């Protein structure tokens, strides 16, 4: 599984915890997704994530806060619900992309000839 997908999964799980939707949304975004490089995401997932990022950082912060905190503070409960649902939709979309990709085989380990002979069985002990 790729690391970005794991971060979306962790964010989705954070939304399922207790607390207000604003608290959960802020924690999920800040702890799992805020520093995620959207260039590593597949097409539609990237577009939707960038829209979510824009929606969560749209407000000008007051002294001592960042744009995420300012935006969350100004969101109505309905807006916070919609953004949380959007995050879940992005996660579901990403999961479908992950399922559609063929499993990548593990890289083969090539043995390097060493010239040494390694015995597979110990010699029987002689009395």
Question: Which tens digits make up the pLDDT trace of 60-86?
Answer: 999 999 999 999 999 999 999 999 999
33 lies in some domain: yes
109 lies in some domain: no
Domains contained in the chain, number: 1
42 lies in some domain: yes
10 lies in some domain: yes
Mean pLDDT of 39-44: 90
What does the block give as tokens for 4?
A: 């970005």
Residue among 18, 49, 54 at smallest CA distance from 32? 49
Residue 91: domain span: 3-100
120 lies in some domain: no
Predicted structure pTM score:
0.75
pLDDT at 88 over 80: yes
Contact 21, 84 (CB under 8 A): yes
123 lies in some domain: no
* Calculated CA dihedral for residues 68, 61, 66, 87, nearest 10 degrees: 10
93 lies in some domain: yes
Tell me which DSSP letter residue 119 carries: -
pLDDT at 100: 74
112 lies in some domain: no
pLDDT at 1: 47
Q: How far apart are CA 91 and CA 41, in angstroms?
A: 11
Contact 118, 39 (CB under 8 A): no
Residue among 64, 73, 92 at smallest CA distance from 25? 73
CB under 8 Å to 94, separation ≥6 — which residues?
Answer: 4, 5, 8, 41, 42, 45
């Amino acid at each position: 599984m790729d690391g970005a997908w794991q971060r979306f999964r962790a964010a989705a799980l954070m939304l399922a915890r207790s607390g207000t939707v604003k608290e959960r949304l802020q924690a999920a975004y800040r702890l799992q997704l805020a520093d995620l490089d959207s260039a590593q995401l597949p097409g539609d997932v990237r577009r939707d994530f960038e829209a979510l990022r824009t929606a969560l950082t749209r407000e000008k912060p007051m002294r001592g806060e960042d744009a995420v905190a300012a935006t969350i503070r100004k969101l109505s409960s309905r807006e916070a619900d919609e953004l949380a649902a959007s995050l879940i939709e992005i996660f579901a979309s990403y999961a479908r992309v992950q399922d559609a990709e063929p499993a990548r085989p593990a890289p083969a380990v090539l043995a390097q000839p060493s010239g040494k002979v390694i015995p597979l069985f110990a010699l029987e002990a002689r009395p």
